[in-house]
Structure 1
Amino acid sequence: MSFYSRHPKEVQIIAGFALIKLFIHLLSNSHYGFHRDELLYMAMSEHLDWGYKEVPPFIAGISWFSYTVFGDSVFAMRILPSLASALIVFMTGLFVLAMNGRTFSIVAACAAMVISPSFLASGYLLQPVVFDQLFWVLSAYFMVKHLQTRKTNYIYLLGVSVGLGMLTKYTMALFVIALIGGLLISPQRKVLLNKDWLMAFAIAFIIFLPNLIWQLSHGMPVISHMNELKASQLDYIDPLSTFTQLFITHASASVVWLSGLIYLFFTKSNSRYIFITYAFILVVILLLAFNGKVYYSFGAFPMLFAAGGICMQKVMGSITPPLRYGAVCLILAPSLLLIPIVVPILSFRSTLRFFEFTTSNGLEFPVKWEDQGTHDTTQDYADMLGWEEIAKHASTAYQKIPTEERAKTTLITDNYGQAGAIMHFSNK
């Protein structure tokens, strides 16, 4: 009997929430313009390679595929990230089923994932972050399925997921360390004695090997990049502020993942999954120790949202369904107020008025940039504006150069956003 045949109703509900998530992003994806980082990754797609200074090659391949299949509009370039974001919600629902959750647990977990400002903000831009989250979720899911079934194919799938994750963002290494550490601390540590883990490691290593070779052959530019990032941004991050943001960025949906964290730590019925709690704690410790940005940890949350849905089922099991679902709506409703902050659903003028209102009422975190200053809009929204105008000005200046000198002319830009904008809009 197929998986769908055993859980038709549950799978349909999970798919429904994934489609809601996809609809939210497709509805707003064409608003504003390309993000600064998107222009970088689109430029990379014109120079495909096994590595780059800033990131592994996966995002360049995704950008190339999007351009080839869907075109180069803002909406088109955000289709695949939006699909990946919806798939994360779907995997969260499957997580609930894997831990023996029922319909209400699925609704609570998936609704929280859909409405979480963290996953709304990181789920639509053409950036590595959403694909990084997806491979974290897949890796944790395959680990849980192996613990359930002891089937070795899940170990091999875990190896594939880790390998692809390493080609997406090097933070996958952090999650692997946390997962292994969580298992070593938990009573499930004996599963690591299986020799098939060596095969999983080999699979992950072979997938990641081309990028490793590229890094070695180019003098490990990732090290110089991380040193630059540390000096310009990470050294200014306050660990206490980062810890606080773990809760703020999910808004009221934090109630669900916190419930999952507590539930897995104290429950006996699902004690074999306590490694998830340990792994999450290790992710947070590593994040704070290395002054990482809060979004580096987002991929570790879906497994806690899944456990939180099960916890809420346990706590509210004796309440009548209407009251039970109503309670979930009340818990998550405040997060709805933050949607304009994280997804460009409003016009820019309306968005500025919204930020003016929220800032005047004490909510300054969304408009606090990496320079630690408070601005009129979020850094992501600001990074979606003005690129075509910059390209027009550059084109105007270029046209004033005598024709015989243009072939010998090089345009020097201040950052990769400007360079990417000139490359992208040059045909216009």
Structure 2
Amino acid sequence: MDTRGNASTAADGSGPPARPDRFAAGPVLGVAAAVGALQLALAGRYGFHRDELYFLAAGRHLAWGYVDQPPLTPLLARLSTAAFGDSPTGLRAVAVLLGMATIVLTALAARELGARRAGQALAAAGAAVSALVLAVGHMLSTASFDLFAWTAIGVLLLRLLRTGDRRWWPAVGAATGVALLNKDLVLLPAAAVLPSIAFAGAKSRAVLRGWWLPGGALVALLVAAPNLYWQAAHGWPQLTVASGISGRDGLADRLTFVPMQLVYLSPVLVPVWLAGFRRLRDDERVCWARPLGYAYPLLCALVLLLGGKPYYALPPLLLVLAAGCEPVARRVWAPAPDGTGTRRGRVRLVAVLLVAALVNAVITLPVLPPPRLALVSALYPESAEQVGWPELTAAVAAGWAAVPPEQRGRAVLFATDYGEAGALVRYGSRYGLPSVYSGHMSFHDWGRPPDSATGPVVLVRPKPYPAVERAFTGCRQVAEVDTGRGVANEEQHAPVLLCAGTVAPWSQLWPRLRHFY
């Protein structure tokens, strides 16, 4: 049985696309290794991010799902710290590896699109200096695996479209299933890619025929089934969380969507991905990849409609960037009549990439001294959220010390936010603190205080939270968080309250204390 579609031609419409050039292993792997070395050197300069502290705590409660995410990132957090050490560097080693792999995959995408050695090297360099790749390679987050997975799926789709071989669909399905174990967002590019393939013409539509595509979808479903079952059994809490985030941040995300498309890669790379769009539109040698050019604007429309984060649309744009690398590399490497064009072009290109690398590294990596983070935190607040967690724990310990010793057996330590709760899990033992409880996200599912714990309650909250505070009586401030480095983040000046007790037993309060935002 013939499993191939009718792939478009390389140049004249009469045969299959040309085979890709040899993989430029030397320059591509060299770029990835340089970025990885930089990331590892800086990984421990600040501290854990609030989300990383939550992932570490979730990794102690492994499950097939959590109210706000599938299981993969907490599992990676646990495996990375087990293999590389319980430290920011140990946790982030897996993020560094995923970032390096994303750089290599971007070069492989350029190779599928006909890039030779220089074009592949440019694709790797473009990915390496982009703000998004640097950010997700520094800090372990769901986006770290998302970007890697989406780029891998993009390479597989390019191989499928180039060859017309529908047997690639199960591989695409398997990669999509693994991505679904990390985050459901992979469904968005899938919703954009399939209509784009259908719209691109009869030759592209050929890969949609037969049972290979449904077979790939079945593979994705089987791989993701454990988490889907968990979500169904728990009432699909991720939908509740996602709708809340969209309702809270949707307007701001829509207003910043277009400028952030430029910032997340780099403004200096705009000519490259514009060249990619032109090439996908005009160059018959890569007309088989035209669905990629349609998928990006369609994905942008979906993200805007749903009020998603601007970076949700970035992975396909990284592939469009890869499409533009070959024509840009050809122009840069083509000598001028006086023989000087090649050298000048290379110098200009390297200078532009170095500027992008420097600017994006300062914004996304722990380069600046903590007191100077105000210079970049408006653009990238995540840097400031990596400072001050041991100091927060010390402030909570001061609050705990205000509890009379004879009352500590029935006292409770409660945090309103998973970042604070995660910090107390991570650092609390240094100060002899008891187990911390919280109603935020999955902390709510990991247990409540016993009804015999009638108070006092030491409450830490980064901002007023009346719905939580109404559960406690007689609250007064006994300590305040100070990072000591002048970093204006969410935790700076957070009060630590000592409350006399609760308004009802914990078993009655606990459902009311659950919150997702």
Would you call these one fold, judging by a TM-score over 0.5? yes
From 128, 131, 137, give the equivalent of 1:123: 137
Question: 1:328 aligned to 349, 373, 377, which one?
Answer: 349
Quote the residue 2:412 is aligned against: 410
Alignment of 1:162-201 (within 5 A): 162-187=176-201, 188-201=204-217
Label 1:415 to 1:270 Cα distance change in 2 as closer, same or farther (>3 A): same
**C-alpha displacement of 1:302:** 2.3
1:344 to 340, 362, 366: 366
Tell me, what secondary structure is at the counterpart of 1:49?
coil
Structure with more of its chain in helix, by fraction: 1
In the alignment, is the contact (CA less than 8 A) between 1:108 and 1:328 conserved in 2? no
Q: What's the counterpart of residue 236 of structure 1? A: 252
**1:150: Cα distance to partner?**
3.9
CA contact (8 A) 1:115 1:253 kept: no
Query: Could you tell me whether the CA contact under 8 Å between 2:129 and 2:353 is conserved in 1?
Result: yes
Q: Give the corresponding residue for 2:281.
A: 265
Report which stretch shifted further, 380-389 or 291-300: 291-300
Question: What does 1:356-367 correspond to in 2, within 5 Å?
Answer: 367=377
Match of residue 114 from structure 1: 128
Q: State the 1:168 CA deviation.
A: 1.0
Q: Distance in 1 between matches of 2:231 and 2:88?
A: 31
User: How many angstroms apart in 2 are the aligned matches of 1:184 and 1:253?
Assistant: 29
1:152 offset after TM fit, Å? Answer: 4.8
Q: For residue 429 of structure 2, what is the aligned residue in structure 1?
A: 427
Match of 2:46 in 1: 32
Aligned to 1:285: 301
In the alignment, the residues of structure 2 paired with residue 406 and residue 152 of structure 1 have an alpha-carbon distance, to the nearest angstrom, of: 65
* One-letter amino acid of the counterpart of residue 54, structure 1: D
Contact residue 31 and residue 125 of structure 2 kept, 8 A: yes
**2 CA distance for matches of 1:206 and 1:402?**
55
| Structure 1 residue 410, shift from structure 2 partner | 2.4
Distance in 1, Cα, partners of 2:130 & 2:183: 22
Structure with the largest fraction of strand: 2
Q: Is the 8 A contact 1:35 1:380 kept in 2?
A: yes
Work out which of the residue numbers 244, 247, 271 in structure 1 matches 2:262.
247
Q: Which amino acid aligns with 2:273?
A: W
- Count of aligned pairs: 402
Look up the SS of the partner of 1:48 in the other structure: coil
Q: CA deviation at 1:121?
A: 2.0
Q: 2:110 & 2:116 partners in 1: Cα distance?
A: 8
CA distance in 2, matches of 1:407, 1:7: 70
**Secondary structure of the corresponding residue to residue 412 of structure 1:** strand
Q: Aligned AA for 2:270?
A: S
* CA deviation after TM superposition for structure 1 residue 395, in Å: 2.6
Given the alignment of the two structures, is residue 78 of structure 1 paired with residue 92 of structure 2, yes or no? yes
Cα shift at 1:217:
0.8
What's the CA shift string for 1:357-387, capped at 9, x where partnerless?
A: xxxxxxxxx5437xxxxxxxx4112211111
CA deviation vs aligned residue, 1:338-372 (integer Å, no higher than 9, x gap): 121111123223555xx2xxxxxxxxxx5437xxx
Code of the residue aligned with 2:349 in structure 1: it is V
Q: 2:53 matched to 1:43?
A: no
Q: For the structure 1 residues 317 and 236, does the alpha-carbon distance in structure 2 shift closer, same or farther, using more than 3 Å as the test?
A: closer
User: Which residue number in structure 2 is paired with residue 362 of structure 1?
Assistant: none
Deviation, structure 1 residue 407: 4.3
2:423 and 2:168 map into 1 onto residues whose CA distance is 43
Aligned position for 1:373: none
**Contact 2:370–2:387 (8 Å) recurs in 1:** no
In 2, the alpha carbon distance for the partners of 1:115 and 1:139 equals 22
Distance 1:195 1:10 in 2: 35
The one of the two structures with greater contact order (alpha-carbon pairs below 8 A, sep at least 6) is: 1
Between 1:198-207 and 1:253-262, the stretch displaced more is: 253-262
Q: Which digits, 9 at most, give the CA deviation of each residue in 1:202-235, with x for residues without a partner?
A: 1100111111111111111112212221232223
- When Rg is computed on C-alpha atoms for both structures, the one with the higher figure is 2
Aligned to 2:172: 158
- After superposing the two structures, state which structure 1 stretch, 267-276 or 295-304, moved more: 295-304
Separation (CA, whole Å) in 2 of partners of 1:406 and 1:300? 54
**Structure-2 separation of matches of 1:159 and 1:426:** 43
Listed one character per residue, the Cα deviations across residues 270-315 of structure 1 (whole Å, up to 9, x for unaligned) are: 1111111111111111122222211212222221121111121343
- C-alpha deviation, 1:236, in angstroms: 3.4
> Contact 1:340 / 1:351 at 8 angstroms: preserved in 2?
no
Partner letter of residue 348 of structure 1?
P
- Supply the AA of the counterpart residue of 2:34: I
Distance 1:248 1:69, change over 3 A: closer
Aligned-pair distance for 1:388?
A: 1.1
Q: Per the alignment, in what secondary structure is the counterpart of residue 56 of structure 1?
A: coil
CA shift in 2, pair 1:197/1:48, >3 Å: same
What amino acid sits opposite 2:329 in the alignment?
Q
Q: Percent identity?
A: 23
Structure 2: how far apart are the matches of 1:204 and 1:406?
Answer: 51
**Stretch moving more, 227-236 or 417-426:** 227-236
After superposing the two structures, state which structure 1 stretch, 184-193 or 312-321, moved more: 312-321
Residues 181 and 282 of structure 1 are in contact (CA less than 8 Å); yes or no, is this contact kept in structure 2? no
The letter of the residue matching 1:147 is: L
Distance 1:121 1:268, change over 3 A: same
- Stretches of structure 2 that go unaligned for 5 or more consecutive residues are 1-19, 336-340, 431-517
Give the distance between the partners of 1:226 and 1:7, measured in 2 at CA.
42
Q: Cα RMSD over matched residues? A: 2.0
Task: Give the counterpart letter for 2:286 in structure 1.
Answer: N
1:305 aligned onto 2:321: yes
Structure-2 separation of matches of 1:10 and 1:108? 11
| Residue in structure 2 matched with residue 359 of structure 1 by the alignment | none
Distance in structure 2 (CA, Å) of the matches to 1:334 and 1:292: 30
Measure how far apart 1:47 and its partner are. 0.6
CA contact (8 A) 1:284 1:297 kept: yes
Q: CA deviation at 1:414?
A: 2.4
TM-score, normalisation: structure 1: 0.88
CA contact (8 A) 2:231 2:238 kept: yes
